[in-house]
Structure 1
Amino acid sequence: MLDRLIRPLIDPPLNRLGRTLANTGVSANGVTGAGFALGLVAAVTIAVGAPGWALLPLLASRLLDGLDGAVARATRTTDFGGYLDIWCDFVFYGAVPFAFAVLDPANALPAAFLLLAFYVNGTSFLGYSIMAEKRGLTSQAQGVKSLYYSAGLLEGTETIVFFVLLCLLPGLFAPLAWGFGVLCLFTAVARVANARSLLT
């Protein structure tokens, strides 16, 4: 929901930085890999009992997640780059709830529900992207992306804010996970309803 509001603010500085990095020979896939590694460092940091410290690699990983596309646009975009980016994102999104379950076994059930909600929402996201590609549908409302997907109540910006809240308030993981999971399911249902109206 917030992505289309945030993109016009963050894209210009990201694109400038992306051009600078591209001019030094940094590859988009290298930036994606670095962001992915930092995301996993954040998850491990949570799992070993330091969720507050996990904020540093977590936010750095999300910065690089936005920067890889800017580097690609400054050099050459590839289908594999887009594929790698979305794969790394989904692994990261799954690693954080799993890390909180490792941190405290009491978090296991809400973490499992959150992962289920991510799975359901992810399939609504990726399934729509496949059908949109088949029909030649495109949009830049969420910025220039390798995959076209319908907007939803919860997108990347909201998920980052949620993960930051989890790191700052780990004792509230359970209610936050249940609440965010419900909103994820709502987003998925809305995407399915939208797909039904556009793809039938």
Structure 2
Amino acid sequence: MFDARLRHIIDPPLNAVGLRLARSGIGANSVTIAGFVFGIAAALAIAWGYWLSALALIALNRLADGLDGAVARATGKTDLGGYLDIVLDFFFYGAVPFAFAAQDPAANAYSAAALLLAFYMNGATFLGFAVMAEKRGMSTDIHGAKSLYYLGGLAEGAETIAIFTAMCLFPAWFSIIAWGFAGICAISALSRLVLVSQMLRG
């Protein structure tokens, strides 16, 4: 919901750093993969109960997720880069709830499963429309220059990271936070399903 509004704030500094990385010979895919490593390390830290370490690693993951696009804009976008960016993001998003379930299965398993289901719903409606948008030659830059069509929703990247942050700061409340965000993600997915159905019908 807030991703597009934040673009004009975060893009200028990211583009400046991305240009420097590109000039130093660091490629966008390397930044993407490094970010993924940070994300998986964050999930492992969560599973072991190292909450502040997990939070720092999540921040590094998100920083890399912004910088890989900035490097790509400086050097030229590629299909492989766009593919790795979205796929590894989804891997990371799924790893965090799973890690909370692994950390305390008795308390967190059901709420983590509900959140993963809601993530699955969101991902399906998001990526499914991206395929149809490409087929129809549709494009948008409201979320910045992307390799695929980004159709916004109630729950997007900024909201997800805010929720992950809250989970790491208040791990005892994970179940409540997860159930609540699962509901928001489900509403986002269903509203996107209705919207896309209407668009494609037309």
CA contact (8 A) 1:153 1:187 kept: yes
Mapped partners of 2:166, 2:109: distance in 1: 18
CA distance, structure 1, for counterparts of residue 58 and residue 190 of structure 2: 28
C-alpha offsets along residues 24-80 of structure 1, whole Å, 9 cap, x if unaligned? 000000000000000000000000111222111110110000110100110021001
Q: Which residue of 2 aligns with 1:129?
A: 130
The residue number in structure 2 matching 1:21 is 21
Gaps of 5+ in 1: none
Q: Percent identity?
A: 56
Please name the residue that 1:152 is paired with. Answer: 153
Give the whole-Å Cα distance in 2 for the aligned partners of 1:4 and 1:81.
21
CA distance in 1 between counterparts of 2:56 and 2:150 reads 29
Take 1:112 and 1:126, find their aligned partners in 2: how far apart are those partners?
21
Distance 2:52 2:181 in 1: 20
TM-score (norm 2): 0.98
Does residue 30 (structure 1) correspond to residue 11 (structure 2)? The answer is no
Residue 147 of structure 1 and its aligned partner are, at CA, apart by 1.2
In the alignment, structure 2 segments of 5+ residues that lack a partner are none
User: 1:132–1:149: 8 Å Cα contact kept in structure 2?
Assistant: no
CA distance in 1: counterparts of 2:146 and 2:74, whole angstroms: 14
Q: Alpha-carbon deviations, 1:168-191, whole Å to 9, x = none? A: 010000010000000000000111
| Alignment-derived partner of residue 99 in structure 1 | 99
Runs of 4+ in structure 1 over 3 Å off: none
The answer on 1:10 being equivalent to 2:10 is yes
Q: Distance in 2 between matches of 1:169 and 1:15?
A: 33
Q: What is the CA–CA distance in structure 2 between the aligned matches of 1:51 and 1:96, rounded to whole Å? A: 12
What residue in structure 2 maps to residue 140 of structure 1?
A: 141
Distance 2:109 2:11 in 1: 37
- Could you tell me how far apart the structure 1 residues matched to 2:173 and 2:76 are? 43
The alignment partner of 1:147 has SS state of coil
CA distance in 2, matches of 1:18, 1:94: 27
What is the TM-score normalised by the length of structure 1? Answer: 0.99
Partner of 2:164: 163
Name the amino acid aligned to 1:166: M
Question: Deviation per CA, 1:112-164, whole angstroms, max 9, x where unpaired?
Answer: 01000000110000000000000011111111111102110110010011100
The count of corresponding residues between Structure 1 and Structure 2 is 200
Counterparts in 2 of 1:37-116, with a 5 A limit?
A: 37-105=37-105, 106-116=107-117
2:186 aligned with 1:185 = yes
What is the aligned-residue RMSD (CA, Å)? 0.7
SS of 2:53's equivalent in the other structure is coil
